[in-house]
Amino acid sequence: MLDFTNKVVIVTGSARGIGRSLAEEFARCGAKIVITDLDQAMCEQVAREISPNAIGVKANVTAGADIDALMQATLDAFGRIDVVVNNAGITRDTLMIRMDEKDWDMVLDINLKGAFLVTKAAARIMMKQRSGRIVNISSIVGLSGNAGQANYSASKAGLIGLTKSSAKELCSRGITVNAVAPGFIETEMTHTLPEAVRKSFLERVLVSRPGTPKDVASAVLFLASDEAAYITGQVLAVDGGLTV
Ligand code: NAP
């Protein structure tokens, strides 16, 4: 089992779905966890449920002031920041010719600008520590594109550019930056997909089952661990062979 004893981990969008599963796995491996999402009461409740070494801090990833407050609350509670997972994300799917500008902006704001703001704020602290791990949750559609997801695919492709650029900028300070690109994972996000889309995805998964949030967590925890010190700027697909 990977050891995160005394490591301080922030997972954005961690009140539910993949983010919550990531937080649970980090806690199981000994980490001190910051649950952060849009609702303060929910963050605190999830923190209580997960670990005595967890705190809940509301932060909208698109709001610079929230991010600054999140970093300060983490430092006040735990004194340092070892790992940040940029997980918060949304979809607003429709064909591009029908896509409202506001749905383009909202998806890009949360999925891409949010990760930039969190990375920038955390990197300042990690640079002083001369160590850190940042893992961005992209998607296989950021590599391949997907009809009906022009905004989402663009945001996830942008995250890969952000991953590689920040890896180059931060490496000399002991900070690695990597991305995980999940395929079809069972969460509320995928429950809303039409049955035909779901079926077409699953037919192409080599391991013949949808992924679970825990499958994603295994990859993220590895990239966030001391054992992954020689890996940076990479994108790891967790898709059961969907993109092979
Ligand atoms: P989810 O169940 O919808 O959870 C997303 C989380 O992000 C929610 O807790 C949500 O909070 C939070 N969030 C939304 N907007 C936010 C904001 N502005 N600031 C802070 N938090 C915000 O989605 P998921 O399936 O777990 O997805 C997690 C990540 O994996 C996303 O980046 C997604 O794009 C990526 N991903 C998922 C799949 C998949 O198959 N599920 C595949 C590839 C990539 P609320 O509860 O308040 O809305």
Question: DSSP string covering 77-112, please?
Answer: HHS---EEEE---------GGG--HHHHHHHHIIII
Q: How many percent of the chain have pLDDT more than 90?
A: 93
Task: Calculate the CA 7 to chain-centre distance.
Answer: 17
| Residue 153, domain extent | 8-238
Closest residue (by CA) to atom 18 of ligand 1? 60
152 assigned to active site: yes
Return d(Cα 109, Cα 8) in angstroms, integer: 26
Number of domains in the chain: 1
At 186, the amino acid letter reads: E
Contact criterion met (CB below 8 Å) for 110 and 153: no
Closest residue (by CA) to atom 8 of ligand 1? 13
Q: How remote is the CA of residue 88 from the centroid of ligand 1, in Å?
A: 5
> Which helix or strand (DSSP H or E) is residue 46 part of?
helix 40-50
Q: What is the mean pLDDT of residues 77-82?
A: 98
pTM for the complete prediction? Answer: 0.98
What is the model's pLDDT at position 102? 98
What is the model's pLDDT at position 196? 86
Q: What is the mean pLDDT of residues 204-232?
A: 97
Supply 159's token pair.
Answer: 């995250």
Index of the ligand 1 atom closest to the CA of residue 18:
26
Q: Is residue 155 in some structural domain?
A: yes
What is the model's pLDDT at position 212? 97
Q: Is residue 13 in some structural domain?
A: yes
Placement of tokens 């709001």 in the chain:
63
Q: How remote is the CA of residue 202 from the centroid of ligand 1, in Å?
A: 21
Return d(Cα 112, Cα 161) in angstroms, integer: 10
Supply 171's token pair.
Answer: 């490496």
Q: What is the mean pLDDT of residues 224-238?
A: 98
Q: Return the best residue to mutate from 187, 188, 192, 209 for the ligand 1 pocket (most ligand atoms within 8 A of CB).
A: 187
What is the model's pLDDT at position 135? 99
**Angle CA 45–110–48, to nearest 5:** 10
Helices (H), 61-181: 64-78, 101-108, 114-129, 141-144, 150-170
Return d(Cα 13, Cα 216) in angstroms, integer: 15
Q: Is residue 2 in some structural domain?
A: no
What is the model's pLDDT at position 192? 81
Return d(Cα 44, Cα 7) in angstroms, integer: 20
Q: How remote is the CA of residue 166 from the centroid of ligand 1, in Å?
A: 22
pLDDT in tens, 181-203: 999 999 988 888 888 888 888 99
Contact criterion met (CB below 8 Å) for 138 and 112: no
What is the model's pLDDT at position 190? 86
Q: What is the mean pLDDT of residues 198-209?
A: 91
Average pLDDT, the chain: 97
Supply 127's token pair.
Answer: 């640079």
Index of the ligand 1 atom closest to the CA of residue 111:
32
Q: Is residue 3 in some structural domain?
A: no
- Any idea of the CA torsion for 23, 27, 30, 33, to the nearest 10 degrees? 60
Q: Is the CB of 62 under 6 A from ligand 1?
A: yes
Q: Is residue 115 in some structural domain?
A: yes
What is the model's pLDDT at position 194? 82
pLDDT in tens, 116-174: 999 999 999 999 999 999 999 999 999 999 999 999 999 999 999 999 999 999 999 99
Q: Is residue 223 in some structural domain?
A: yes
Binned at pLDDT 50, 70 and 90, residue 14 comes out as: very high
What is the model's pLDDT at position 197? 81
Q: What is the mean pLDDT of residues 197-216?
A: 92
Q: Is the CB of 188 under 6 A from ligand 1?
A: yes
CATH number, residue 179: 3.40.50.720
Q: Is residue 181 in some structural domain?
A: yes
Q: Which residues is 86 bridged to in the sheet?
A: 136
Q: Is residue 244 in some structural domain?
A: no
